[in-house]
Amino acid sequence: MFSVGLAAPLAATAETALSIMRREPERVARLRTNGLRFLEAANAAGLDTGFSEGYAITPVIIGDSLSAAMLSDLLFAEGISALPIIHPAVPEKLARLRFFITSEHTPDQIDRAVELTASLLGKVSNRLDRTKGTPG
């Protein structure tokens, strides 16, 4: 537990963000729409989103830490930033990528991120299976 207050620049930034949210509620509505779009597309593509409800941050559970890190790197090379959350932050078999959805993402960007994630996850799994000597 921390007992320090926010630094003045952080407090000012948070206050400004709240002011914009109140003045422009359509941004919040777009964010909710985009979050739900990502969640629904990910689930339709067979990606494991855990207990996500489609808000601004949505996980895609990958499994092992190595696969999560490899997939994150492959997505980054394609222009998609999805940070890996790996052991010990989460249990080893629950490593995941964390997608940060914004109100400014387009439907095409969201769909592309999901499609690439599903496609590249298959390639990562196959590559790891081959290195372990199992069929894949």
User: What band does 136 get if pLDDT is binned at 50, 70 and 90?
Assistant: very low
The pLDDT value given to residue 132: 65
Give CA–CA dist 132/121, Å, rounded.
Answer: 17
Q: Is 136 helix (H, G, I), strand (E, B) or coil?
A: coil
Give CA–CA dist 52/35, Å, rounded.
Answer: 10
- Left if phi > 0, otherwise alpha if psi is -120 to 50, otherwise beta: which for 101? beta
**How many CB atoms are located within 10 Å of the residue 125 CB?**
17
Taking 60 as the threshold, does the pLDDT of residue 41 lie above it? yes
pLDDT digits 0-9 by tens, 50-108: 999 999 999 999 999 999 999 999 999 999 999 999 999 999 899 999 999 999 999 99
Work out the average pLDDT over 28-50. 97
Helix residue spans in the chain (DSSP H): 8-23, 25-44, 65-77, 107-131
Give the global pTM.
0.84
pLDDT top residue among 74 and 127: 74
- Left if phi > 0, otherwise alpha if psi is -120 to 50, otherwise beta: which for 83? beta
Q: Which domains does the chain have, with CATH numbers?
A: 29-131 (3.90.1150.10)
pLDDT top residue among 126 and 105: 105
Q: Which of 130, 128, 136 is nearest to 69 (CA)?
A: 128
